[in-house]
Amino acid sequence: MEILVQKYGGSSLANAERIRAVAERIIASRQSGRPIVVVVSAMGDTTDDLIRLARQLAKEPDDRELDLLLSTGETISCTLMAMTLRHMGYEAISLTGAQAGIKTDASYSRARIIAVDPSRVHRELAAGRIVVVAGFQGITEEFDITTLGRGGSDTTAVAMAAILGANLCEIYTDVDGVYTADPRIEPRAQKLKEISYEEMLELAQQGAKVMHPRAVELGSVYGVPIVVRSSFNTNPGTLIHGETAMELRNKVRGIAHDTDVAKITVVGVPDRPGIAAALFQPLAEANISVDVIVQNASIHGVTDLSFTVARSDLERALRIVQSVSEEIRATDVVSSTDLAKVSIVGTGMQHAPGYAARMFRALADHQVNIDMITTSEIRITCLIGSAHVVEAVRALHEAFQLDRADL
C-alpha cells in the first residue's frame, strides 16, 4: 500500500494540547491502513528561542555547535509525538534525521541532502509502526549533525516522500493553503486550489515562507505532488504539482514579499574586467548567496555596484567586501537594512507584455519608490523601502485583481 508522508510545522505543535490534537489527526489517517511517516518541526518558536539563547552567550555562535543545538528542537517534538501516539494505543517510533538515513553535506545551517537511506524507516513501517521523523536535520559523513536552513522540515518531508515513493506529501501548517499573498498581510488574499511547482518555487524563493523553496524543488524533480493544508481544520488545501490549466486563470498567481534583505553598495569601483569576479567569488566561497545585483553605467571609468544578501549574512559579507574593496581600490562600501522585496509571480506573464509597467504604476500610485528591479521569466521583483511593504503588497494584490481571481 502507498506510504503517506505528513509534515506538521511548529505552529501546529506549539504545546501539549496541540501535539495531542495532531496525534489524533495522524491516527485518523492511519485508519485507512496506509503506512504513515510523519515529519515534525520544533514546537512553536523553539528554534528562534534557541538562537537567541546561543547569541546571549556567543555573538557569532560556531556553526557546528549551533546546528547541533537547533536540531534538539525537532528531537524534542518527534519524541513527544511518538510517546503521545503510543499512549493513545498506536505503535510509533521517533527517529532523528540521522536515524532516518538523511545524509547531508557539511554546510552548517544550510546543509543539502546528498542521499537518503530509507532502510530503517522501511523496517519500522514493516513492523507496523508509525514513524515520526525529526525534520530540518541530517548527518554528515563525519557524523556531525547539520540543519537544512530555516523552514527546512518541509524539505525533510518531501525528501522522505520521494525516497519512499509516496504519491503525496501533505504539509500541515497554520493556514489552509497557499494564498495569493501572505494572508497575514493581505486579508483579501484568496486560497489557490492548485499551483505549479515553478510558480510555487518562485514565490517561496521570494519570501512566501509557507513552503521551503528546496522542498518545492525536490517535489518538482522527483514528481511528488504536495498538498498544503491546515492542521487546525479539515478544509481542502492547495495542490502543488506539475502543469496546471494556465489559460483559464489569472496570469499573475501570487505576490510574495521578503523583509530579510540587506543591500551592500561598493562605491567608486574601477570599471575593468575581473572586478565583479573579484567581489563575488569570495562571497560564493563563504557560502553567501547574492541576490539582486545592479551595476550603474560607468562615468570616467568608475562605477557603483550594489547587491543584496540575507540580513543574517550581512556582517560576514561586509567583512569580505571591505577587504576586497581595498584590493580593487574602490572608494567606499556602504550598507542598508531598511529594504524589502515585493514580487509578482505567474507563468502566464511570460508571453504577455505590460506586467512590469502595471506593477511600477501600481507602486508609483502609492508613492512607493523602487530601489532596484530584477526579473525572471515568470517573476518581477522590486526592492522598496521596508516601511512600505504592507502597502505595496496590498496595492499589487488589488492592481492584479487577485481578490477577484478565478482560482
Of 65 and 243, which CB lies nearer to ligand ASP in the complex structure? 65
The grid coordinates of residue 16 equal 501539549
254 binds, among ligand ASP, Mg ion, ligand ADP, none (CB under 5 to 8 A by kind): ligand ADP
Please identify which residue in 6, 11, 96, 347 interacts with ligand ADP, judged by CB under 6 A.
11
Rounded to the nearest whole angstrom, what is the least distance from the CB of residue 147 to ligand ASP in the complex? Answer: 7
Rounded to the nearest whole angstrom, what is the least distance from the CB of residue 63 to ligand ADP in the complex? Answer: 22
Rounded to the nearest whole angstrom, what is the least distance from the CB of residue 2 to Mg ion in the complex? Answer: 25
For residue 382, what are the β-bridge partners?
Answer: 342, 373
42 binds, among Mg ion, ligand ADP, ligand ASP, none (CB under 5 to 8 A by kind): ligand ASP
213 binds, among ligand ADP, Mg ion, ligand ASP, none (CB under 5 to 8 A by kind): none
Question: Which distant-in-sequence residues (6+ apart) come within 8 Å of 272 by Cβ?
Answer: 301
Rounded Cα distance between 137 and 119, Å, is 18
Sheet with 145-147, edge to edge strand ranges: 113-116, 102-104, 137-139, 145-147
Is 153 in contact with 210 (CB distance < 8 Å)? no
DSSP H helical ranges for 210-259 = 213-222
Of 140 and 190, which CB lies nearer to ligand ADP in the complex structure? 190
Of 47 and 84, which CB lies nearer to ligand ASP in the complex structure? 47
Residues 23-42, interacting with ligand ADP (CB under 6 A)? 41
Please identify which residue in 5, 6, 8, 10 interacts with ligand ASP, judged by CB under 6 A.
10
Torsion angles phi and psi, residue 396, rounded to 5: -70, -35
Interaction mask 66-85, ligand ASP, x per CB under 6 A: -------x------------
Sheet with 302-309, edge to edge strand ranges: 293-295, 302-309, 254-270, 332-345, 379-385, 370-376
The grid coordinates of residue 135 equal 525534520
Residues 194-223, interacting with ligand ADP (CB under 6 A)? 208-210
- 365 exposed, middle or buried (CB, 10 Å; 0-12, 13-18, 19+)? exposed
86-94, 120-128, 149-157, 191-199 -> range binding ligand ASP (CB under 6 A) = 149-157
The grid coordinates of residue 394 equal 496590498
Q: Looking at 158-278, which runs of residues are DSSP E strands?
A: 169-173, 194-196, 226-230, 238-241, 254-270
Rounded Cα distance between 157 and 387, Å, is 35
Please identify which residue in 151, 177, 219, 346 interacts with Mg ion, judged by CB under 5 A.
151
Q: Check residue 138 for interaction with ligand ASP (CB under 6 A).
A: no
47 binds, among Mg ion, ligand ADP, ligand ASP, none (CB under 5 to 8 A by kind): ligand ASP
17-25, 101-109, 151-159, 335-343 -> range binding ligand ASP (CB under 6 A) = 151-159
145-153, 274-282, 365-373, 382-390 -> range binding ligand ASP (CB under 6 A) = 145-153
Rounded Cα distance between 219 and 158, Å, is 6
Is 43 in contact with 76 (CB distance < 8 Å)? yes
Q: Which stretches of the chain bind ligand ADP, using CB under 6 A? A: 9-12, 41, 151, 173-175, 178-179, 181-184, 208-210, 254
Binding site for Mg ion (CB under 5 A): 9, 151
**Interface positions with ligand ASP (CB under 6 A):** 9-10, 41-42, 47, 73, 135-136, 150-153
